Structure 1
Amino acid sequence: MNKVMELLSTKGVELGQQLLMAFLAFIVGRWVIGMAGKLLTTSMSRQKIDSTLTQYAVSVVTGVLNIILVISILGILGIQTTSFAALLAAAGLAVGTAMSGLLSNFASGVFLMVLRPFKVGDFISAGGITGTVTEIGIFASKINTPDNVLTVVGNGKIFADNIQNFSHNAYRRVDLTRHFGADANLPMIASELQQRLLAIPNVLSEPAPNIEILEFRAGGPLLAIRPYCHNDSYWQVYFDSNKAILAYCDEKGFAAPEQAVVVRQH
């Protein structure tokens, strides 16, 4: 009994000191982690970084700090943390390898939010999908295609491919063509067609519609007819321009040229 009391008197005081130090370390550590999270949130908010990215960054930082705090408390209590840290590192490596694709999407999502090659509402072509961006997530983005199909594309695929943002510039060119006969008065046709195109709603007068010879074919020249408009009016201008070209050709009697072959016998 005396030996037990002697052991309790010596080891008990040491254990009590360790528990007290561990408790103080926990209180101070949690306060420091909370302050670090608040400072990071404030700093990223001042730099106008996306709120989703801010939340994930704060979660990652606080998670790492909490792991460090737990390891420190175990060390204060006299528990060997070397094997624990090695086990944690091995587990992290295994999880990282298994989630390499997900981590790639996460990293690409961070870059998309920081670099901002496009924003919600933009009409883009990326990752093999063309449509309007409805959401930019941290792992994947949602694109609504012109045929009204919602497509979820991984950010890694978007960032690894070329990105075309049709909404970025102030206006966009509509490319149309029309085949005319070899005897057609092209300067007159270009002038009259330009006036017809300018009468279409949402066609810009500056830059004015451009009408030039694109190439020469056996039946006659092929004209490039190119009005300009805002991206929101692209398809309306596209279809209305086709209607205007057809109405003009019918009115003037310009039939589509037929290819002919002349055979001379000597």
Structure 2
Amino acid sequence: MVANVFNFGILLNTYLVPFGLKIIAALAIWIAGSIAINGFAKLARRALSLRHLDPTLANYAISTIHVALRIVLVMAILEVCGIPTTSFAALIGAAGVAIGVAWSGLLSNFAAGIFLVVLHPFKVGDYINAAGQTGTVTEIGLFMTIMTTDNNLRVYIGNNKLFSDTITNYNVNDSRRVEQRCQIAGGVNPAEAIALLTERVSRIPNVMPAPAPNVTIVEFNALGTLLVVRLFAATPNFGQVNNDTNIAIAETARAAGWPAPATYQVSVPSAPTPHSAPNSAPDSAPAVPGNA
């Protein structure tokens, strides 16, 4: 019995107590390190916001700092537990190669996300058209970009697909050109129509005076004359000016009494052909002998 107690005491003092102390130390380091990392991340985010850094770039920086500090924390815990970090680093490297091969698509999205941040073709809040989608950018993440479409749908697009496609940014310039077409009938005088439309669209609210509104002839077709109305507006006012331009064209046509453009089909009777000429009157009946 004494031998068993003695052996248990040796086991407790030699193995269990040191191992338990290491576990307690590892937990304490993890808790303290997590609190410190979260606090540092908050301070870094606040400092970046005070410097008016782009939100996307700030998120990338905070995420990178957070991941790097977590790796350092795990390495410190492994050292406390007596696990050699050199072999662990080699294991991480091998795992990284395997993950890189398996997740090549995700890594390409990650690389494209970095280029999107560095080249800055758009930012959060911009209205863009890319990858077959049109909407407002709400978030640029590490692997995907989130957009909200005009019909209030949230669309998630992989950064690689987004970066490899043509990107149209509607907010990057201060002004945009509104262009609407107006088809008038052949009986309407184009010069008078141009004068009426130019005067009317110039009175649309938020239309820029320079470049001045312009109405010109695009083509002549079977319906009559096709006009195009061009005017400029500040980018935030584009939607309002575009809608008001359509209304102005309709009001001008109604007030001037322009007829609706339409094609007309005229039926012309065809001339008779020689084969369809009426037959001549039949000859008189031959005389019958004895009836003279």
Residue matched to 1:13: none
1:254 alignment partner, one of 251, 258, 264: 258
Alignment partner of 1:217 is 2:224? no
Higher gyration radius (CA): 2
1:107 alignment partner, one of 111, 115, 118: 111
Contact 1:219 1:260 in 2 (8 A): no
> 2:248, 2:60 → 1: CA distance?
48
Matches within 5 A, 1:55-66: 55-59=62-66
Deviation at 1:47, TM superposition (A): 11
Structure-2 change in CA distance of 1:47 and 1:106 (3 Å): farther
> 1:47, 1:70 → 2: CA distance?
36
* Amino acid of the structure 2 residue aligned with 1:146: D
Structure-2 change in CA distance of 1:103 and 1:212 (3 Å): same
Residue matched to 1:228: 232
* Amino acid of the structure 2 residue aligned with 1:211: V
> 1:187, 1:88 → 2: CA distance?
76
Structure-2 change in CA distance of 1:159 and 1:80 (3 Å): closer
* Amino acid of the structure 2 residue aligned with 1:149: L
Contact 2:75 2:85 in 1 (8 A): no
Deviation at 1:146, TM superposition (A): 1.2
Residue matched to 1:245: 249
> 2:235, 2:146 → 1: CA distance?
20
Tell me the secondary structure at the aligned position of residue 260 of structure 2. Answer: coil
2:193 alignment partner, one of 173, 189, 195: 189
**What is the Cα-based RMSD across aligned positions, in Å?**
3.4
TM-score (normalised: structure 2): 0.65
* Amino acid of the structure 1 residue aligned with 2:61: T
TM-score (normalised: structure 1): 0.71
1:52 alignment partner, one of 50, 59, 64: 59
Structure-2 change in CA distance of 1:80 and 1:243 (3 Å): closer
Matches within 5 A, 1:101-250: 101-250=105-254
User: Structure 2 regions of 5+ residues with no counterpart?
Assistant: 1-36, 272-292
Deviation at 1:98, TM superposition (A): 2.5
Deviation at 1:123, TM superposition (A): 0.9
> 1:221, 1:250 → 2: CA distance?
17
Deviation at 1:134, TM superposition (A): 1.8
> 1:137, 1:106 → 2: CA distance?
9
